[in-house]
Amino acid sequence: MAEEHEQEPRESLFEAPPLAEQERMVEAILFASAEPVSVAELNARMPHGADAAAALELLRARYEGRGVRLVKVGEAWAMRTAPDLGFLMQKETVEVRKLSRAAIETLAIIAYHQPVTRAEIEEIRGVSVSRGTIDQLLELEWIRFGRRRMTPGRPVTFVVTEAFLDHFGLESARDLPGLKELRAAGLLDSRPPPGAGTPEEGEEDGAQDDMFGGEGAGEDES
Amino acid sequence: MAEEHEQEPRESLFEAPPLAEQERMVEAILFASAEPVSVAELNARMPHGADAAAALELLRARYEGRGVRLVKVGEAWAMRTAPDLGFLMQKETVEVRKLSRAAIETLAIIAYHQPVTRAEIEEIRGVSVSRGTIDQLLELEWIRFGRRRMTPGRPVTFVVTEAFLDHFGLESARDLPGLKELRAAGLLDSRPPPGAGTPEEGEEDGAQDDMFGGEGAGEDES
Amino acid sequence: MSEDFQEDRVAPVAARLAEEALIVDVDGFEGPLDLLLTLSRTQKVDLRKISVLQLAEQYLGFVEQARRLRIELAADYLVMAAWLAFLKSRLLLPPDPADEGPSGDELAAHLAFQLERLAAMREAAAKLMARDQKGRDFFPRGIPEDVTRVRRVTYTASLLDLMQAYARLRTRDEFRPLVMDRDRILTMEQALERLRGMIGFAGEWTDIMCYLPEGWGGDPALRRSATAATFAATLELVREGAIEIRQGETFAPIQIRKRGDG
């Protein structure tokens, strides 16, 4: 300690921050850094005259026996959860992937048009819906089977689930913005599709009201 | 997972771990996660009988004044570096897309008036909300759709998200700077222009009071 | 009110310069309310005590000046000017007891409220942005822990992904109407084809309702569509000279039969 204080005036016009403060700095840097940080880099990032090695020693002692530890990785330092608590980390190991385009489109159609049959989904998407896509959405519990449609063949319909609403932060499927709102938010090209005039929009809105008015959506919310 | 269960075959027969141990567990979980973790999730991940809320209190006190702090975000908890050490973090600083004045004002209006419709935002700003402004805020995940307003046209409403609270270091939407003063001054009222039809406006008032009254703001974030 | 006029008259050079700056800067304003708020600042008073009458005159002066300088003002600026002129007359004239509408004072109070609210939201926005922000002033964990013991793959998507997917589908060039709409509609072509096959047997006058396809008579929506299509098809057949059509009176059954000489 005494040594350090004697060194300071020579090194800089400014005094280095107290060691306790340096310890806080090392703590924050190690916490936020995406990679282990070497002592040299710590010194470079901290105010002039700071002694990262000393601060690291203090910090290491402080975290002794805690849920988090200071570990040395090669020549650098990092913070890690205590190994005996690894079993608590299961949740962090979930690998999250983006849904495929086919799946997200299928999901969108179900959300907007529920209850909807597979044939209807294919009609809207213009391509056939693979079994895997529906299975994936079922497995995610974002969709489930609705009532059978009272048309020839009595096809099953699909509707979205509570888990879907939960994931997308919606209070109900009714809160999904309509086409007009999507357009207003700039999510939709404002130019109507070729060959389709304004009635198209009215028709769609009608279809949507119809569908939200009907049994399908209401059922889900209850 | 299986392993853990084998270690503690009859969890409920054992006493919950000592509070100091629970504190370590909460520390490890929060430390490992970049996202806020709710008390419910903490309890779900910790051994049976643990009391995450009590452990959190201890932990919060322990980190008082450190380089890393325990902060509350909505109903969840997270560890964040102390704001006074931000200057050390140039390396970690993420380039934030510069928000336009319109976007900033729109965000503030949504935060203070939530749930709020697009028409209400326009009424307050005196100009139409430009294409892309809402889009940008949605993309940042700072706002989301709330419940539809039960007025003619059933317009969608917007509310702020937990990510918004996290970004601005707010515990809840009630902690927005100056909220109380604004409310006391009546500046958050939805005051209809004189001579305008009253019935629907009345309903709007109701919705708004509801939201800031009690459960509303908190509920949205949970 | 007389006070307001006086204030106006003693407007210092600085204020006049400010007004000229406004003209040059007209593009910088976000609409009439923003402009009014800026103008109100020249009154240098609490927004609650603002003189709306004076503000209206300032605004009208601004619009007048813009016109003189041949600056094109957007329609909403002119709408506001017209409204403020109306408000001004209401404020200056004694109230007409027969008039049912809101009084000038009520309208003025509301405008003052709107300005105060906008100013308050601007201030709130500034306060919000001045807060410590994540990724700038404070930071989350840099290395979220990856304990590779249990690997479970899950899929995610944001609400924006969902909406964009839907938007993409609905704006594709080869837009198709919904099948739901289509399978509840009998087209005229379908009805015509059906009638052509059956008309050979219709020697007697027969109600066209007998020609509805099986299963389309129950559900009102289906019946409506089928009736309309069938009726349109009979008209087409009449035009071709294949059948005759008659209706005894308004709302009576419409009957058809094959043309005798056919």
Q: Assess contact for B122 and B137: CB atoms under 8 A.
A: no
Option in B31, B67, B148 nearest A28 (CB) = B67
Mind listing the pLDDT tens digit for each residue in B123-140?
999 888 877 889 889 988
Q: In terms of CA atoms, which chain B residue is nearest residue A33?
A: B92
Contact residues on chain C for B77, CB-CB shorter than 8 A: none
The fold for domain A16-83 equals Arc Repressor Mutant, subunit A (1.10.10)
Residue to mutate among A104, A128, A175, with most C CBs inside 10 A, is A104
Mind listing the pLDDT tens digit for each residue in B75-120?
899 999 999 998 888 776 666 668 888 999 999 999 999 999 999 9
- Whether the per-residue pLDDT at C54 is higher than 90: the answer is no
Mean local confidence (pLDDT), B43-50: 87
The fold for domain B101-191+200-204 equals Arc Repressor Mutant, subunit A (1.10.10)
Which tokens go with A89? 């980390």
Mind listing the pLDDT tens digit for each residue in A138-176?
988 899 999 898 888 889 999 998 888 888 877 777 778
- Sequence-ordered alpha helix ranges (H) in chain C: 2-9, 13-24, 31-41, 52-68, 75-92, 104-129, 159-170, 179-182, 188-198, 220-240
CA angle at A52 for the pair A50 and A58, rounded to the nearest 5°: 115
In angstroms, the CA A42 to CA B184 distance is 48
Mind listing the pLDDT tens digit for each residue in C172-198?
644 444 444 556 778 888 888 888 877
Domain definitions of chain B by residue range: 16-83, 101-191+200-204
- Please state whether the predicted TM-score (pTM) of the whole model is above 0.90: no
Please answer yes or no on whether B27 and A68 come within 8 Å at the CB atom. Answer: yes
Look at residue B54 in the predicted model and tell me its pLDDT: 93
Which tokens go with B141? 């995940």
User: Which pairs from B8-14 meet CB under 8 Å and 24+ separation?
Assistant: B8/B47, B11/B47, B11/B48, B11/B49, B12/B48, B12/B49, B14/B47, B14/B48, B14/B49
Option in B32, B92, B138 nearest A81 (CB) = B32
Look at residue C18 in the predicted model and tell me its pLDDT: 63
